[in-house]
Amino acid sequence: MHRGPVLRNSLIVAMLPIVLLVVGVIIAVVLPLAQWANGAEGPAGRGDEARSAVAGEPAAPSGPSDQKETAESREISALVRQLGDPTYTVRQRATKRLIELGIITQPLLTQALEDDDAEVRSRAGQVLAQVVEADFHLRLEAFTNDLEGRQQHTLPCWGRFSQVFGQEKISRMLFVEMQRSEPAMLEALDTNPKLAGELFVMRIQSIRQSIQFPARDGTGPPTISLGTVCSLLMVSAAEGVTVSDQDAMQLSALIKQSTFQRNLSANLESGILKKMLGAWIVHNSSSALARDNLSLAFTFDLKEGLDLAVKLLANDGRGQPPAVRHDALLTVGRFGNHTHIGLVEPLLKDNDFCAPQQGNDERQPQIRDVALAVLIHLSGQELKDYGLDHVQLNFQTLPQGGAIAFADKLTRKAALRKWEQWSGRGGAGPAGKPAAAKDSSYRPADAKAPATGSPVPAAAGATTPAPAARAAQQADAPAAKVEPTTTPRPAELVP
């Protein structure tokens, strides 16, 4: 009957270490955590010690840098509050001191933009603009002094720019000029492409007004810097940025001005400028801009013009005005090679007039005439062998719509049949030898290089190519009358 009390005493003795352990944990961990949560931890750094205790790690002692950062934060917080002080001199002194402290004030100043006090919001915005601009100029100066690229720099859009145009010294020099001209637009492009597009529109409109309504001091229209034009090109060609045809036309007019063209032709930066312009003409491929962009490709030898021409001629060029089809075909002749014969051949059945005509005279130049001339060129044959001996076509300049035409419809019919026979024999000339097809070092991303020594690819159907056969059958068909098109042309900025 004495075993009950003895057993209870034994259990108490056995559980005592567990109870003491639990109490110790409560004293060592739970109470400090509660004090930390209620903000009663005492000196700075106690909250970190509690969190380290929970994690089972020793707390890192606060060093001089931590104490300095805390002191600066307290000073900035006090200065921000003083921006709304009733005393004018206190507000002015706080404003001046915040500007002196520089970019480290940005987080608290950004928070102050939502302060209940209107004076605090206003002054915080003014100070924030100044410290951000000052910091940008310091970073830009450091970048400018390091054109060899020995150090890492954080400037808006540099990552995007350098990935496409390289990090060489000449690339850095152009980037510096762009940053000095249009820093806000480039920063927006890095963070908010939609905003960058809006800034693009505002800048284009501002330039147009300054040119149309120049200053009355006799200095004339302002000169638009190379940095501005390059920034506008880069933004308008970026993914996520939407630019209207009208605004793109205004930029096209800027490209034609002397500042950009002079640098494009003679400057060391010409390679970068051509690449930038090439990306722009491919990105802006609407019918309203197509002819001007194809003309730029011819003028400045932009091989990206081939990519644009291929896009325009997709689906046999349907949906494009005859003038656009005409220029796109000639661009393929300039930059393409015999791998593009299959793209061009379907247009042998296109009997639209190259330009609006009065009446229905089949002797007038038609799209199929241009297509055949391009095919003859790409396949390495001679125009004179097809009744086009009077046509001077060197593909160095973009010919006008009436430059390629047959003397009469019988000559056209014979030429189409000759092409049908040539392509039906797999590209063999009159002597049964393969013609020397035109080649080119440039191919668009989706084009495959032909095997070395391979003959010119024949059109679909080795015996009777369907496009060529249909073209020959339609040689006697009346040409479709083309109504005058109203494709808008880029408006010149200079009045």
Least confident of 75-89, 269-283, 293-307: 269-283
**What CA–CA distance (Å, rounded) separates 480 from 356?**
11
**What CA–CA distance (Å, rounded) separates 198 from 188?**
10
Average per-residue pLDDT for the chain:
75
Q: What is the pLDDT of residues 156-172, one digit of tens each?
A: 899 999 999 998 888 99
Q: What DSSP string runs through 372-387?
A: HHHHHHHTT--GGGGT
Residue 381 has pLDDT above 80, yes or no: yes
Q: What is the pLDDT of residues 116-161, one digit of tens each?
A: 999 999 999 999 989 988 988 899 999 999 888 888 888 889 999 9
Coil, helix or strand at residue 253: helix
- 65 vs 320, more confident: 320
Q: What is the pLDDT of residues 288-336, one digit of tens each?
A: 889 989 998 998 889 999 999 999 999 888 889 999 999 999 999 999 9
Cα–chain-centroid distance for residue 333?
27
| Range of 259-268, 381-390, 426-435 with top mean pLDDT | 381-390
**What CA–CA distance (Å, rounded) separates 206 from 153?**
31
**What CA–CA distance (Å, rounded) separates 186 from 168?**
20
Q: Residue 137 phi/psi, 5° resolution?
A: -65, -35
**pLDDT computed for residue 457 by the predictor:** 38
**What CA–CA distance (Å, rounded) separates 388 from 393?**
10
**What CA–CA distance (Å, rounded) separates 134 from 140?**
10
Q: Domain coordinates of the chain in residue numbers?
A: 70-145, 150-216+223-284, 304-447+454-495
Any idea which fold 70-145 has?
Leucine-rich Repeat Variant (1.25.10)
How does 120-139 read in b/e, with b if 16+ C-beta sit within 10 Å?
bbebbeebbeebbeeebeeb
Residue 395 has pLDDT above 60, yes or no: yes
